[in-house]
Amino acid sequence: MNRRRQVSSDPTALKPGDVELEMGVPIPGVIVPRDGWTQTALKQLPSEGILKFEDLFQRSAPMAIDIGCGNGRFTISSAVRRPDWDHLGIDILPAVIRYATRRGNQRALKNVRFAVCDGWRLLSDLIPDASVDEFHIYHPQPYFSADDFSKRMLHPQFLILLHQRLKATGKIFLQTDRKAYWQYIQKSFRSLFEWTEQTEPWSEDPWGRSRREMLSQQQGLAIFRGVASKRNSLTNEEACSIAASMAPPAFAVQGRRGRRK
């Protein structure tokens, strides 16, 4: 039987056969001996040109991208659960990518890569149109100061990039614990995508898809979830015209700045 130990902040303490716990909840996958570890760090992004997923993973498979992946909980969970899918997790914080990478390596995952990168650069410069099956965006940084509102990721122009990079059957999974951000998300995404609100926790991850979600649940905060599907009836010109008329995400958010994921 696998041993379990609580090591929410130090995966280096894990031994082969362990199942890692974070806040009492397992991170899927079992730790393998060191000589079986994989290398999940994508240390060098193209300075020119695009990421070629088939070259990166040495196969053709559905592609899921976790923007703001934090310590990798969801990316790893999905990679373990869906070995026939490939996964890319990105975050702007090198420290959390180091945790995510080590966790992917320890579980001998071949269908996941992690990189230090921001969502704007990834979508603008590194991936082609109609190349992604799923985007996952959980608890995007709300930025509480009015001076920082322009840093919010889910700007109408970013939504255009999401629309362009999705495949025809692609979906975007979204979640936040900030009501004002959620109201903006619902209104803006409904303008460009087919929209479905998810009123219950994700069935595959009832305890939470990210550390941020688990912390929010402990604090008794409401979690807002939804799924956007590509609206293929919109031409790119029509989508750009709609986005140009949308307000930027410059709204007040209640609460204190917290850790991301």
Q: Is residue 250 part of a domain?
A: no
Q: What is the mean pLDDT of the chain?
A: 91
Q: Is residue 26 part of a domain?
A: no
Confidence of residue 150 (pLDDT cuts 50, 70, 90): confident
In CATH, what number is assigned to the domain containing residue 161? 3.40.50.150
Q: Which domain holds residue 99?
A: 41-244
| Cβ–Cβ < 8 Å for 60, 54 | yes
Q: Is residue 233 part of a domain?
A: yes
Q: Is residue 13 part of a domain?
A: no
Q: Is residue 234 part of a domain?
A: yes
Q: Is residue 15 part of a domain?
A: no
pLDDT (tens digit per residue) in 228-241: 999 999 999 999 99
Confidence of residue 9 (pLDDT cuts 50, 70, 90): very low
Average pLDDT over residues 27-31: 93
| Cβ–Cβ < 8 Å for 188, 235 | no
Q: Is residue 255 part of a domain?
A: no
Total tally of structural domains belonging to the chain: 1
pLDDT: which is higher, 3 or 58: 58
